[in-house]
Amino acid sequence: MAISLAITLQQIELLRSSLLEWGKIHFRSFPWRLTDNPYHILIAEILLHRTQVRQMIPVYENFLRCYPELSALANAGKEELQNSLYSLGLHWRIDLLHETAQILQHRFAGKIPRDKQSLLTLPGVSQYIAAAVRCFAWNEPEVLLDTNTVRITGRLLGWEVKDSSRRSARFRQALETLLDREHPRDFNYALLDLAHLFCLKRQPPLCGECPLKIWCNYPREGEKPDEHSQ
DNA sequence: GTCCCGCTTG
DNA sequence: CAAGCGGGAC
C-alpha cells in the first residue's frame, strides 16, 4: 500500500513514540478523559458532536449531575432532557439521545455495548462516536476519522485533503498503519490534541515545534504546496 | 467520490 | 456575511 512507503516501520515506531511523548506534555485534561466509564464517555462524545468543547463542558457536567448513570437517563422524559441540552443547539440530538437511552436500558440490559456493530445501532452514534467510545472506554485500537485527524494525515503524507477524504479508504488505511496499537487511547488523544494545539486549520500550523515535523510533508515556507497525491 | 444542505461560529 | 462540520442523497 502506498503509505508503507515512504516511511519504514522503524520510522513509524519513532513517529509514534514522538507523538506519545508530546501527548503526555500537552494532554488536555477533560472530565471525560479522566474516566473509563463508558456511559460518561458516550455522553461526552454525543454532546461533542459538531460542538465546541468550551461550550459543551458546563452542559456535560450539569448533565451528569442530573443523570449520573444510564438508568437515571432512561427514566427521564424528553421535556426534561430539553432543559439540560437545549442550549447546545442541534436539537434533534435530544430525541436521538432519549431514544438511545431507551434502547440501552431495555435492549442492552442497561450497559453500553463494547462491540462496534451494537454501538452503531444506537441513534446518533456514528462511526466516529462508536470508535471513540471503544477506544477511550476500553482502549480498543480504533482509528478516529474526522476533519482534524484527516488534516494531520494529509499534511503528514503530502496528500491533498478533499471533501471525500474523511470517508476514503486511503486515509483510513493510513491512519490504521500509523495507529499505535499498544497505546490506542494515548495515541488518539495526542492526535486530537495536536490537531487542536499545533496542526491548526485556520491559522498557520506551529510546525517548528511539531513532534512530527521530521516526517511531515506539509509545505514549508518558500516551497510550493506539493501536489503528488490524490 | 461528489454535491448538497442544515446548523453553528467567527 | 462567510466558512466549517458532517450526515445523507445520488
- A36 vs A222, more confident: A36
Cα torsion at A89, A92, A94, A99 (round to 10°)? Answer: -170
Domains, chain A, ordered by start: 9-29+142-215 (1.10.1670.10), 31-138 (1.10.340.30)
Using the C1' atom of nucleotide C5, identify the protein residue whose alpha carbon is closest.
A50
Look up residue A219 and give its DSSP letter: P
Protein side of the strand C interface (CB < 7 A): A 49-50, 126-128, 146-148, 163, 166, 201-202
Arithmetic mean of pLDDT, A103-122: 96
Its sign, for the CA torsion A18, A22, A28, A31, is positive
What residues contact residue A180 under an 8 Å CB cut-off, 6+ apart? A16, A19, A20, A186, A187
Q: Which nucleotides of B are covered by protein (CB under 7 A)?
A: 1-4, 6-10
pLDDT of residue A221: 59
Q: Straight-line distance from CA A166 to C1' B3, in Å?
A: 15
Instruction: Compute the distance between CA of residue A100 and CA of residue A95 in angstroms, rounded to an integer.
Output: 9
pLDDT reading at A219 higher than 80: yes
Taking the C-alpha atoms of residue A39 and residue A27, their distance in angstroms, rounded to an integer, is: 22
Residue nearest to nucleotide C7 (CA to C1'): A126
Read off φ and ψ for residue A99, nearest 5 degrees. Answer: -65, -45
pLDDT in tens, A32-46: 999 999 999 999 999
C1’ B6 / CA A90, Å: 9
Q: Cα-flanking dihedrals φ and ψ of residue A107, to 5°?
A: -100, -20
DSSP code per residue over A98-149: HHHHHHHHHHSTTS---SHHHHHTSTT--HHHHHHHHHHHH-------SHHH
Q: Both ends of chain A: CA-CA distance in Å?
A: 14
Number of H helices, E strands in chain A: 11, 0
List residues with CB under 7 Å of strand B: A 50, 52, 55, 89-91, 162-164, 167-170
Mean pLDDT of chain A: 93
Classify A126 in phi/psi space as left (phi over 0), alpha (psi -120 to 50) or beta: beta
pLDDT tens-digit readout, A96-110: 999 999 999 999 999
Radius of gyration of chain A (CA): 19
Q: CB under 8 Å to A195, separation ≥6 — which residues?
A: A148, A149, A151, A152
With the CA atoms of A216, A218, A223 and A227 taken in that order, what torsion angle do they form, in degrees rounded to the nearest 10? 110
Whether the per-residue pLDDT at A62 is higher than 90: the answer is yes
**What is the share, in percent, of chain A residues with pLDDT greater than 70?**
93
For residues A148, A165, A49, A116, the Cα torsion angle rounded to the nearest 10 degrees is -110
Per-residue pLDDT at A222 exceeds 50: no
